[in-house]
């Protein structure tokens, strides 16, 4: 035994008995492996956890995606819980962090807030009630995260950080307008807007996504056996007409400046929507002008989706 320990020590000192280092892939490499079928969503989630805060968000999203594709309800529940834990870890690790992390914290909180709605759809084969606690919590989270992103955007100076924040805010304002519309106008569980799933939001070479990437999924349930994914929305702060037409005719393109502006020269549409929604939410619809502006923008948005 002593000789064995001594020989091990010799090998350790010589470098021949060192623990193998775990290979850490970049996020791009993991997406490539997932896209070509070399790994599945669960393995992708495990690998993403080793790639920083953004990777942790991606890990949570991959777990949620897997949960929605799992037919076994107990197994799906496990994935939902794992996704929540990973996303809560992002929030914990980023608490009091720099403003350039706000986009990842906001994404984590938003995805986490919609998990009960996804779980309800998976187990009940219906859309969740728009007037229940699920959507009250979702709506509050959306407003809070719009304020977070708006404030962070005003503070950061690094251009890539600003681009990430404003892109996230653009998607969030559209999702928030749709959620507000649901909560205020839909009472029959026939309509529900959700953030797109991991494989839907990325251009991966998967049969899971044949439409191209999109940001927001709108489900309807009009008597069919299960809810149907009826509309796929791609949100841009400013997109060229050629981009709208290039290959993805089944997507609804929403250009915030062009489609949701109240007048032709209006700028900063996303931050104005965020401010109006926060004012309406926190002051309980006290400002009729704010509510009127939000209603007009919502009608414009619905017109774009139905076009």
CA distance 56 to 180: 29
pLDDT at 4 over 70: no
How high is the pLDDT of residue 20?
A: 47
- What is the structure's pLDDT at 246? 52
Please tell me which residue, 199 or 187, carries the higher pLDDT value: 199
pLDDT-above-70 percentage for the chain: 85
**Residue 9 pLDDT grade (very low, low, confident, very high; cuts 50, 70, 90):** very low
∠191-85-218 over CA atoms, to 5°? Answer: 15
Q: Dump pLDDT digits (tens) for 54-97.
A: 999 999 999 999 999 999 999 999 999 999 999 999 999 888 88
Map out the domains of the chain as residue ranges: 136-307
Give the whole-number percent of the chain exceeding pLDDT 90. Answer: 69
Who has greater pLDDT, 166 or 130? 166
Q: Stretch 153-177: mean pLDDT, rounded?
A: 93
How much is the pLDDT for 242?
41
234 close to 213: Cβ distance less than 8 angstroms: yes
Summarize the confidence of residues 102-123 as an average pLDDT: 96
pLDDT of residue 238: 62
pLDDT tier for residue 205 given thresholds of 50, 70 and 90: low
Question: Is 281's pLDDT higher than 80?
Answer: yes
Q: What pLDDT is attached to residue 249?
A: 60
What's the burial of 15, exposed, middle or buried (CB within 10 Å: 0-12/13-18/19+)?
Answer: exposed
Q: Convert the pLDDT of each residue in 30-39 to its tens digit.
A: 999 998 899 9
Across the chain, mean pLDDT equals 87
**Cβ–Cβ under 8 Å, residues 183 and 139:** yes
| Calpha distance 175→166 (Å, rounded) | 14
What confidence category does residue 230 fall into, taking pLDDT thresholds of 50, 70 and 90?
very high
**Residue 248: its pLDDT value, please?**
56
What local confidence, expressed as pLDDT, does residue 210 receive?
54
pLDDT reported for residue 47: 96
pLDDT of residue 12: 43
Span 214-233, average pLDDT = 92
Rounded average pLDDT over 20-28: 71
pLDDT above 60 for 17: no
Over 70: is that where the pLDDT of 3 sits?
A: no
226-229 long-range contacts, Cβ below 8 Å, gap at least 24? 226/125, 227/121, 227/125, 227/126, 227/127, 227/192
Is the Cβ–Cβ distance between 304 and 254 less than 8 Å? yes
CA atoms within 13 A on the CB side of 276: 21
Q: Does residue 187 or residue 205 have the better pLDDT?
A: 187
Q: Lowest mean pLDDT: which of 172-181, 237-246, 298-307? A: 237-246
Which pLDDT belongs to residue 239?
53
Query: Quick one: pLDDT at residue 106?
Result: 95
**Residues 246-272: what's their mean pLDDT?**
87
Given a contact cutoff of 8 angstroms between Cβ atoms, the answer to whether 207 and 216 are in contact is no
Q: Which residues fall within 8 angstroms of residue 59, CB to CB, at 6 or more apart? A: 44, 45, 46, 48, 49, 86
273, two tokens:
């929507």
């Amino acid at each position: 035994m002593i000789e064995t320990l001594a020989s091990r020590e010799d090998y350790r000192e010589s470098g021949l008995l060192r623990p193998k280092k775990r290979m850490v892939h970049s996020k791009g490499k993991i997406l490539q492996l997932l896209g070509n079928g070399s790994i599945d969503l669960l393995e992708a989630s495990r690998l993403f956890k080793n790639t920083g805060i953004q990777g942790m968000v991606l890990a949570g999203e991959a777990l949620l995606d897997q949960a929605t594709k799992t037919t076994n309800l107990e197994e799906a529940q496990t994935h939902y819980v794992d996704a929540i834990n990973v996303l809560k870890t992002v929030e914990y690790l980023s608490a009091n962090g720099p403003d350039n992390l706000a986009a990842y914290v906001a994404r984590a909180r938003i995805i986490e807030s919609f998990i009960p709605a996804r779980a309800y759809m998976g187990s009940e084969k219906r859309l969740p009630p728009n007037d229940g606690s699920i959507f009250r919590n979702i709506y509050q989270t959306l407003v809070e995260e719009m304020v977070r992103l708006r404030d962070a955007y005003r503070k950061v100076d690094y251009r890539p950080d600003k681009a990430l924040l404003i892109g996230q805010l653009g998607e969030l304002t559209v999702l928030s307008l749709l959620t507000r519309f649901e909560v205020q106008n839909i009472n029959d569980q026939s309509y529900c807007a959700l953030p797109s799933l991991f494989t839907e939001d990325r251009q991966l070479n998967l049969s899971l996504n044949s439409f191209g990437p999109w940001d927001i999924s709108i489900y309807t349930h009009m008597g069919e056996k299960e809810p149907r994914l009826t509309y796929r929305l791609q949100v841009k702060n400013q997109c060229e007409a050629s981009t709208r037409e290039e290959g993805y005719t089944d997507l609804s393109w929403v250009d915030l400046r062009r489609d949701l502006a109240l007048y032709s020269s209006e700028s900063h549409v996303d931050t104005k929507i965020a401010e109006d929604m926060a004012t309406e939410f926190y002051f309980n619809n006290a400002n009729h002008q704010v509510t009127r502006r939000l209603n007009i923008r919502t009608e414009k948005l619905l017109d774009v989706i139905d076009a």
